[in-house]
Amino acid sequence: MTIKSTHEKPVPPFLARVAANLIDAIVITIIDVAVMYLFWLIGMVTGFLDTSPEHWGSIVASAPLFFLDGLFVLVLPITAVYLNLTQALHEQTLHLANALFAVLIMVNWFYRAFFESSNDRATPGKRFMDLQVVTQQGKAIDFLGASCRHFAKMVSVLLVGIAALPLFGSHKDQSLHDLIAKCVIFHNEH
């Protein structure tokens, strides 16, 4: 089955999903960098951080981590747990850093759940690739359903990413998280 797209050539479903996820990861990275910048400003105003150049460089250096989290949804939660368990976070900035991690994790969740439960039924990446997230009956999903789908992605990723591939379901085009959330991705026919 090939998805027709507004692009010049038809895009296979798997590649359309990959492209949509890459686009969304880029958007999430931009939002996360802006949030981190805001947290750095708060840290500097409150005196938790100084204005040294390495703090500003950390914002840019963190962008790949944010991008990976945009792709795989578990990167920031695992990083936060690891940094706390190894006590790698400086005691002075521990609470600010953990608040930052919490906000960034919520950004990824709200981004996906908000857009997938919107009238477009798609994140900006999915919309660009002419995809929509709907229930198995073809109806719009609500915020709770979109949230379930997002958190079910964590299960997919924990299973070494294999479950994140669209290999499941009666049409062999659902990911494990789609099955758990009782959703499907389909081409938005204009």
128 CB contacts (<8 Å, ≥6 apart)?
19, 20, 23
pLDDT class of 162 with cuts at 50, 70, 90:
low
Q: What is the mean pLDDT of residues 125-151?
A: 93
Region of 81 on the Ramachandran plot (φ > 0 left; ψ -120 to 50 alpha; else beta) = alpha
Query: Tokens 């507004």 sit at which residue?
Result: 6
Q: Record the tokens describing residue 27, joined without a space.
A: 């958007």
The whole-angstrom separation of Cα 3 and Cα 114 is 24
pLDDT at 175 over 70: yes
The tens digit of pLDDT for each residue in 74-116 reads 899 999 999 999 998 888 888 989 999 999 999 999 999 999 9
pLDDT at 9 over 50: no
Q: What is the mean pLDDT of residues 120-129?
A: 95
Whether the full predicted model's pTM is greater than 0.75, yes or no, is: yes
pLDDT at 8 over 80: no
pLDDT at 13 over 80: no
pLDDT at 2 over 90: no
| Nearest residue to 132 (alpha-carbon basis) of 190, 66, 92 | 190
Query: Tokens 């590649």 sit at which residue?
Result: 15
Q: Which of 38-47, 145-154, 163-172 has the highest mean pLDDT?
A: 145-154
